[in-house]
Amino acid sequence: MDFELNETQDAYVAMARQFATKALAPKAAEWDATGHFPKDVLREAGSLGLMALYTPESAGGLGLSRLDSALIFEALAEGCTSTAAFMTIHNMALWMIASFGNEETRATFCPDLAEAKTLASYCLTEPGAGSDAASLRTTATREGDGYRLNGQKMFISGAGDTDVLVVMARVADENGPRPGAKGVSSFVVPANTPGISFGRKEEKMGWNSQPTRAITFEEAFVPATHRLGAEGEGFKIAMKGLDGGRINIATTAVGTAQAALEHTLAYVGERQQFGQPIGAFQHTQFELADMATELLAARQMVRLAAARLDAGHPEATLYCAMAKRFATDRAFEVCNKALQLHGGYGYIREYPLERHLRDVRVHQILEGTNEIMRVIIARRMQMEGAAALLH
């Protein structure tokens, strides 16, 4: 498959890279050190359409393909991994509302979300339901013209600072919670709804420019009109969201690794040891060659998966899982090698390498751990055979 960019895609990437260079990169270290959530910069991104890339135009978005969006997210991550990653989460939550909400829900939430006047969080993970999303226990009990939400979500990006929550919950009635994946429904919930409370801001290894908190729901009422799709379609909606989410996490990891490689190329050309630049040593050259090769392979796999998702390929989920697993693993290794080539300088905060490494590490965990990606891949191969899938 040919991934040579067309003029329109080149223009999108140039715009995103310019925003990353001017608005993200100069402040990334400060945001990381202080744990600052840059809402003003996110609103600026919203004015450029960057917070609603693949949301349909009818809901205020740009209506771009997943491939085009991946190109843009990669460029943004070169400026600040953590902030770009939150932008992908907001994009995913907005797309779910725009794609599965009714007309009233779209009119209520989408315009402000598309411009980042309000921000959204995606609420799937629970204390006992991480990668096993079908086992979630948060309940939505029918009551009159709506539902009462009860339960807890964990590791929610933006929680406590965002305005809208996309929540996955298990519908319950007089017979109790409905079992299995078909018992899950999806809801869009204002974050200030009575009965919703937020835990402490987690202290994290990376991704420090966005807050992460637990969310507790205690008899929080949500109108039935705020349900996304029909009852029982929540798990399917969540999985559709995760296909794109895995591409987003993979492509932002690639963007981070690209930034690390560029910093390293500059450094090894300037750093002198034994009377010559360390870039003249064969070992350094071999490392750089491997980093560039692995980065290109990861980038191409992500773009292939995005193209498969755009095309509605029957094995798009498989390709997204493969891209997420491979790209996030390779990106971490590229960042790790970049830090090593900087020696002691890579370990101090004067240089961005340690931040790149800390930020990109969680990409191997998010949107389903890479171990779960391997399970998805292996099961599909066992069901269909490798020859039928990998072409």
Cα 166 from chain centroid (whole Å):
15
- CA nearest to 71, candidates 130, 132, 13, 152: 13
Cα gap 328→290, rounded to integer Å: 16
- Measured from the Cβ of residue 203, the count of other Cβ atoms closer than 10 Å reads 8
Cα 364 from chain centroid (whole Å):
11
CA angle 250/253/201 to nearest 5° reads 100
294 is an active site residue = no
Q: Which residues contact 100 (CB under 8 A, 6 or more apart)?
A: 186, 228, 229, 233, 237
111 burial (CB, 10 Å; 0-12 / 13-18 / 19+) is middle
Partner residues linked to 120 by β-bridges:
164
Q: How many residues does the chain have?
A: 391
- CA nearest to 105, candidates 223, 191, 226, 221: 226
**Is the separation of the CB atoms in 320 and 246 below 8 Å?**
yes
Task: Give the CA count within 13 Å in the CB-facing half-sphere of 354.
Answer: 13
Candidates 30, 294, 367, 371; catalytic one: 367
> Residues with catalytic annotation?
367
